[in-house]
Amino acid sequence: MIETNRLGVSYRGQPALTDLSVTIGGGFTAVIGPSGAGKSTLMRALNGLIPAGSGQVLFQGTPLGRPGSALLRIQQRRMGMVFQGFNLVRRLSALENVLLGRLAATSPWRSLSGWLPHGERELALHLLDRVGLADHAWQRADQLSGGQQQRVGIARALAQQPQVILADEPISALDPKSAAEVMAILHGIQAQDGLAVIANLHSLETVRRYAGRVIALRAGQLVFDDVPQRLTDNVARELYGQDALPGESQEPGGNQELPPNVHFASA
């Protein structure tokens, strides 16, 4: 569905992703890696928010269009993004925020008039109901709790009628209870609606619980790509460095040997 082909992205000459080739199909894919590994950069590159410096990103077999092109906008519409900081337009209501997901399907000049095509509002309300927020539709986004805002964010992404959800640390800013609710919704989207979900996650516990596949980045390179069962504590320790297992106890244990298909970049 989404494929990167020797993708490289750099910020002012500093490489953030190098030579990354990976194909992601359906299911729930977790992207992990230490801070600064390039996880957010990968998400933004997959969506085309930042152009590839070298190599390419393909969505359903077609290379992403150039920045500003109509092709890219059509492709972006099929990829709903969910953000760590929710990124709702704070002064708009929950419902209006969900309707933002319909913009790409509306002609720009008509969207200026504020007039909604038939059924758009119903769709948005239905999606809010789906994330458990039908009662909050007319509340301003900045008056919702973090967990509620993130659920509005998911509803907004779903309003695009996407084929993929790209979630950049969707639960890092949330308390455990809200995080569990958000993960359950993301899981439902994948399991029931058959959308592909790609999520940057920090807690290995969450990764093991929800992901069908784990991709690990370190220093902009792919260093692990396997089922979560192979993501042993040792692998994780190697990935994050000796003293950091995010969100987990640091007791030794698990498999002492690296799985054969793990190849760490020489540090």
Partner 1 sequence: MTIRVPEPPLPIYRPPPAVLRNQRWRWAASATVLLIVALSLGGSEISLPRLTQGSVNIVHYLFGSAERPRSGYFPPDFSNGLVYLQQMLLTVKMAVVGTTGAVILAIPLSFLAARNTTPNRLTYQLTRRLLDLFRGVPLIVMALIFVAAVGLGPFPGILALAIHTAGILGKLFAEGIENIDEGQVEAVRSSGAHPVQVLSHGVWPQIIPHLLSMTLYRFESNVRDSTLLGIVGAGGIGYYITEAIRGFDSRSASAILIIILSSVFLIDFLSAKLRERLS
Ligand X SMILES: Nc1ncnc2c1ncn2[C@@H]1O[C@H](COP(=O)(O)OP(=O)(O)OP(=O)(O)O)[C@@H](O)[C@H]1O
Query: Which of residues 33, 80, 220, 228 is near partner 1 by CB under 8 A?
Result: 80
Return the one option of ligand X, partner 1, Mg ion, none that residue 201 interacts with (CB less than 5 to 8 A, by type). Answer: none
Place of tokens 């492709």: 75
d(C-alpha 86, C-alpha 83), whole Å = 5
Three-class secondary structure of residue 59 per DSSP:
strand
Query: Which of residues 39, 151, 156, 218 is near partner 1 by CB under 8 A?
Result: 156
Closest to ligand X by CB, 84 vs 93, is: 84
Residues 23-62: x/- map of binding to partner 1 (CB under 8 A)?
Answer: ------------------------x-x-------------
Contacts 24+ apart (CB under 8 A), 66-74: 72/48, 73/104, 74/104
Asked if residue 74 binds partner 1 (CB under 8 A), the reply is yes
Asked if residue 182 binds partner 1 (CB under 8 A), the reply is no
Dihedral sign computed on CA atoms, order 93, 157, 8, 247: positive
Length of the chain: 267
Asked if residue 45 binds ligand X (CB under 6 A), the reply is no
Query: Which of residues 4, 40, 76, 190 is near Mg ion by CB under 5 A?
Result: 40
Asked if residue 170 binds partner 1 (CB under 8 A), the reply is no
Whether residue 12 contacts residue 18, with contact meaning beta carbons closer than 8 Å, is answered with: no
Asked if residue 258 binds partner 1 (CB under 8 A), the reply is no
Query: Which of residues 85, 188, 194, 254 is near partner 1 by CB under 8 A?
Result: 85
Closest to partner 1 by CB, 160 vs 221, is: 160
**C-alpha angle 87/16/1, rounded to 5°?**
70
Place of tokens 């084929």: 163
Query: Which of residues 2, 32, 45, 79 is near partner 1 by CB under 8 A?
Result: 79
DSSP 243: T
Closest to Mg ion by CB, 96 vs 169, is: 169
Dihedral sign computed on CA atoms, order 216, 218, 221, 224: negative
Residues that bind Mg ion (CB under 5 A): 40
